[in-house]
Structure 1
């Protein structure tokens, strides 16, 4: 029997140096990757860092997605090749309204270049978001104090909340390209994975925090809330998340749908804090909500917290 001949799959990972992006590149280049073999382009704002393994991408592109001219200049040469976008990029500003604007501009600039190419082969985009979709803009300094809590489980079909949310804006943007472009939404929890510089690498941050506390002889105190200290939480392994992205990118049953993606295990920060104390040889200090301290160094000294 003659083997079916299909065009090669060519991936563009936007945000390849982060935890999710790095895991995606590694997964796509595996011989067993669904839809493979893949040609993989990885992009980031900064030049390729020295630690980045060149073997997991076929090309590394540095450009500023906020700048439409730079985006066009850097992506036009590959616009006739890219069949799939894996969007794992994010920029965070001082308010959710600003987050909506900056992230929407980035995605729009990339899509404009790739979809405007003559006979563009781009067929699918996977968009990574998160559980803020269900909780509202928890990092907005003003709106975070006005949010109405929603108890889990979070189900993909839950209605949107009446707050600005850049995840909603990005979903609407990619849906506007239908039917010429299909999409999938991937809502992760706290992501854990390998990355030497990711701002959102929670475990690396906690490891550094514990190490400093041990060196300085200061208490290793939990920088969260009573609710998150006592209630169940979950995480998303970057490797599992990558596999879900790839499956959705090539599976007809996953088109134009949203998926939660967690590793399946639940924990409390109270129990995890004890484990961290043992690993880093620091004294376990029970959570005390009456104590305030400046964990992140914000201007008002109130600190931003886990959860």
Structure 2
């Protein structure tokens, strides 16, 4: 048997994309495999995290350069591929740029400063904010002019601060000693309660709370998004694309959109989610607009009761959901759709039916005891 060629470091391994990536790299038929996988996160390994998907779990704070150096220098002579799935969000985009750039710089410095460094490629997880601008920034988001969908990779950068741009520039600055690939996902769907933006867990907790207290599971968006197209990114498809780009010479130094390859309307999705979460389907009513963030602000104790009743892993509602982010997405004034043409032309053909994907991940979240299941 030949010596193991590729060694991965996944920073952000406990998030939706990170967990799927670790699972993909550990599959016996994984391209470039068998991989040795180091998984890293800021907090210790959660109970639900399957320990078999990483060879070693490393806990460190990437914002702290000395902690990063101490934890990563022992493996700098091994790691060939850095999978950057990490993300921290601050109150505004400028602060978000500083913290994310600092983290990536600290990790790259720790891996590259070793004289025996083996690092050759970095995959960078970003998203459609690349085409929309800082949509969650309190000031910038009020006057954004976004690109027209469908979004494609050669669209020019927007004239707003964006931490994705900063991370791309940082990785490019290491050329030619490093190659890179950029992965621009849509709304990611996967199984973790350690992701900052987790629409599926957010929707599942909303439905569970509605069911528990007898509220209608109403659509918190607008008539526009109810009727128009949107797309999503299955964490498994995203992982496939990261691995493909990491081992495919043609994909080096390129950015790729990553979606499931289909589109849906929120109207059809809402019907589907209502069935899945065992709540009554309520058609959208424009006269009943409401603020989901406000509605859920005091529901922490309700979630605690649900966790207890269904014997779920102990989680805090405000730590596992992103009602603000979900509400922003459901109030877009444009269709949130990205083109997969470039990805296909370069040879990546991963895809999944979004409805099947959601059913799969809901089942997974139930098995992991993160959200309740209802037996009939």
TM range (shorter): over 0.9
2:291 aligned residue (286, 290, 293): 293
TM-score, normalisation: structure 2:
0.76
1:218 shift after superposition: 1.7
Query: What SS is found at the alignment partner of 1:162?
Result: coil
Say whether residues 1:163 and 2:160 are aligned partners: yes
Number of the residue aligned with 1:192: 189
Query: What SS is found at the alignment partner of 2:293?
Result: coil
1:187 shift after superposition: 0.4
Q: Is the 8 A contact 2:127 2:186 kept in 1?
A: yes
CA offsets, 1:198-248, max 9 Å, x none? 332211210110111122122222223343222200001111110110111
Distance 1:114 1:82 in 2: 8
Distance 1:71 1:166 in 2: 21
Q: Is the 8 A contact 2:270 2:281 kept in 1?
A: no
Number of the residue aligned with 1:15: 12
Distance 2:287 2:266 in 1: 14
Q: Is the 8 A contact 2:227 2:265 kept in 1?
A: yes
| Closer/same/farther in 2, CA of residues 165 and 226 from structure 1, 3 Å limit | farther
Distance 1:215 1:84 in 2: 45
Query: What SS is found at the alignment partner of 2:286?
Result: coil
Number of the residue aligned with 1:282: 280
| Closer/same/farther in 2, CA of residues 127 and 75 from structure 1, 3 Å limit | same
1:108 aligned residue (98, 105, 109): 105
Number of the residue aligned with 1:57: 54
Greater per-residue strand proportion: 1
Number of equivalences: 301
Query: What SS is found at the alignment partner of 2:149?
Result: coil
Number of the residue aligned with 2:26: 29
2:201 aligned residue (201, 204, 219): 204
Q: Which runs of 5+ in 2 are unaligned?
A: 298-322, 330-376
Number of the residue aligned with 1:123: 120
1:142 shift after superposition: 1.4
Query: What SS is found at the alignment partner of 1:119?
Result: coil
Greater per-residue helix proportion: 2
